[in-house]
């Protein structure tokens, strides 16, 4: 039951849904997620913590930067089902389509420069 509650909590926020959809294209640095959402780093960190607790995303640290991706194949069926459900129901929404366009622009920005800019702000 705990796992279902964690997943439900994680999916109960539009920004976390947007993060899951953005990660459909692959791994992102936290600075890219911050740029996409336009939120404070501490707020994005909290969202990522909730998604990690629900096992919907995985993280890795490389140097000073954190990278996130959707949960992998080893995750429980409930996690896989939740991610599939989000993708099925959110994929064509105007917000996600707008995010996809914005993410394409963000991915063209040098990641190191983007991360340095955010740490200065």
Average the pLDDT over 26-39 and give the result: 96
* 38-63 average pLDDT score: 94
Task: Please check the confidence at residue 12 and state whether its pLDDT lies above 70.
Answer: yes
Average pLDDT score, the chain: 91
Kindly state the percentage of the chain with pLDDT values over 70. 99
The arithmetic mean of pLDDT across residues 42-63, rounded, is 94
DSSP the chain: -HHHHHHHHHTSSHHHHHHHHHGGGS-EEHHHHHHHHT--HHHHHHHHHHHHHTTSEEEEEETTEEEEEE--TTS-HHHHHHHHHHHHHHTTSHHHHHHHHHHHHHHHS-HHHHHHHHHH-
| 100: confidence class by pLDDT, cuts 50, 70, 90 | very high
CATH code of residue 96? 1.10.10.10
Domain carrying residue 11: 2-120
pTM as predicted = 0.91
Report how many domains make up the chain.
1
| Predicted pLDDT at 91 | 87
pLDDT score for 121:
65
pLDDT at 98 over 90: yes
């Amino acid at each position: 039951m705990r796992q279902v509650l964690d997943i439900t909590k994680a999916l109960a926020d539009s920004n976390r849904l947007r993060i899951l959809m953005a990660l459909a294209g692959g791994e992102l640095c936290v600075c890219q997620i911050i740029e996409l959402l336009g939120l404070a780093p501490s707020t994005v960190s909290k969202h990522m913590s909730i998604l990690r607790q629900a096992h919907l995303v995985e993280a890795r640290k490389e140097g000073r930067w954190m990278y996130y991706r959707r949960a992998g194949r080893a995750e429980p069926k409930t996690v896989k089902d939740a991610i599939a459900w989000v993708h099925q129901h959110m994929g064509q929404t105007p917000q996600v389509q707008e995010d996809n366009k914005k993410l394409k622009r963000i991915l063209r920005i040098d990641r190191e420069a983007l991360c340095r800019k955010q740490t200065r702000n």
